[in-house]
Structure 1
């Protein structure tokens, strides 16, 4: 579904992506791991067309992303942002239905609200939450609302950016389980960025490690613990010593 071939991107003298090659099969959940500043967010933004690579090719469903009509192309994606990124002035149901009331996906208001309530139900929230403001919800509830918004338009591809940041271990487990269930249920193709190894093991079919702007290792989750790569081994076990440079 998604293929990056020799993708490079620099910002001034900062070479962020240095020849990324990555293939995400249709209907599979790919988790991209790697330290802060290794280019994970730039990779996702490049797939979405928010960042233009300096060279290389990015294809979605076999078509170069630069040759696809923008509105129709972006309508295929859902996104759960780090921190939720809810609109604090809108009630919950309008947050969930935001895309359904605009552009090519526009639905009548009553229908959009009905869909929003159904998606809230799917993530374990009752209709009583629909008319509350985000500030009235706990962090875990806000994350569920963000997940409901990501799936509201039944996207083919979903990106999850640090989905469990700021959550306690129990709520992190709830969100991980929801993501896995929803991706399987929808048959969606997913890319997740995370530092949380519990999330990696809970939601991934395949794992790719991005280091110094390149995919250092990629393979099925079952092979992660015996990758025989010292960089992967250091990262997944959180060791201070190893080939990955750390500030001391």
Structure 2
């Protein structure tokens, strides 16, 4: 569904993406791993058109994303942000229904609220939560609200940016399980950025490792542990020494 060919991006003298080649198949869950500052978020922003690559091409269903109608293009995506990114001044249901209440196809408030409550139930939150404000929720509940918002408009493609950051291991496991269930139920194409190897194993169909501006390795999650690639092995086992440390 999404193809990246020779994608490059620099910020001044800092070359972040040095020719990324990657294919994300339709209906599959791709997880991007790699150290901090390796360009994972920049890659995601390039796909969404928030950052324009310096070179290469990104296509969605064969269409160059830079030439697509922006509203129609972005309508195909849902996004779970790393920090939740909920609007403090809006009630929970209004956060979940944010997209549904705007644009040419905006729904009446009553209909949008009903859909929002249904999505909140899907992520394990009771209807009473709908009228609370984000500040009244725990971190885990806020993450669930963010997930409900990401799926509210039934997107074809969902991006997850560090979905378990800041959560305890039990809640991280709950979020991972929810993400996997929802992606399978919706038949969505998913792309996740994470450092959390438990998330990788729970969410991924395929894994790609971004290092030094290129995809160092990619393959099915079932082959992750067995690959002899020294970069992957150092990263997944958290070793202090290895090829990644040697270039820092």
Band the TM-score falls in, shorter-chain normalisation: over 0.9
> Are the counterparts in 2 of residues 4 and 20 from structure 1 also a CA contact under 8 Å?
yes
Match of 2:205 in 1: 205
Structure 1 residue 104, shift from structure 2 partner: 3.9
Query: What is the match of residue 9 of structure 1?
Result: 9
String of CA shifts for 1:56-81, please: whole Å, max 9, x gaps: 00001111001110001000000000
Q: Which whole-Å CA distance do the structure 1 matches of 2:76 and 2:16 have between them? A: 26
CA gap 1:41/1:205 in 2 versus in 1, 3 angstroms: same
Residue of structure 2 in register with 1:32 after alignment: 32
8 A contact 1:240–1:246 mirrored in 2? no
Structure 1 spans left out of the alignment, 5+ residues:
none
Q: Measure how far apart 1:83 and its partner are.
A: 1.0
The 1-side partners of 2:99 and 2:61 are apart by 22
C-alpha separation between the residues in 2 aligned to 1:103 and 1:12? 36
Q: Distance in 2 between matches of 1:80 and 1:164?
A: 10
| Distance of aligned partners of 1:125 and 1:15 in 2 relative to their CA distance in 1, 3 Å threshold | same
For residue 44 of structure 1, report the CA deviation from its aligned partner. Answer: 0.4
Inter-CA distance 64–11: structure 2 relative to 1 (3 Å threshold): same
Distance 2:160 2:14 in 1: 25
| CA RMSD in angstroms, aligned pairs only | 1.1
Residues 141 and 246 (structure 1 numbering): CA distance in 2 closer, same or farther, change over 3 Å?
Answer: farther
Q: TM-score, normalised by structure 2?
A: 0.98
**Which runs of at least 4 in structure 1 moved beyond 3 Å after TM superposition?**
none
The yes-or-no answer on 1:160 pairing with 2:154 is no
Tell me if 1:174 matches 2:174. Answer: yes
TM-score (norm: length of structure 1): 0.98
**Secondary structure class of the residue paired with 2:35:** coil
What SS class does the counterpart of residue 154 from structure 1 fall into? coil
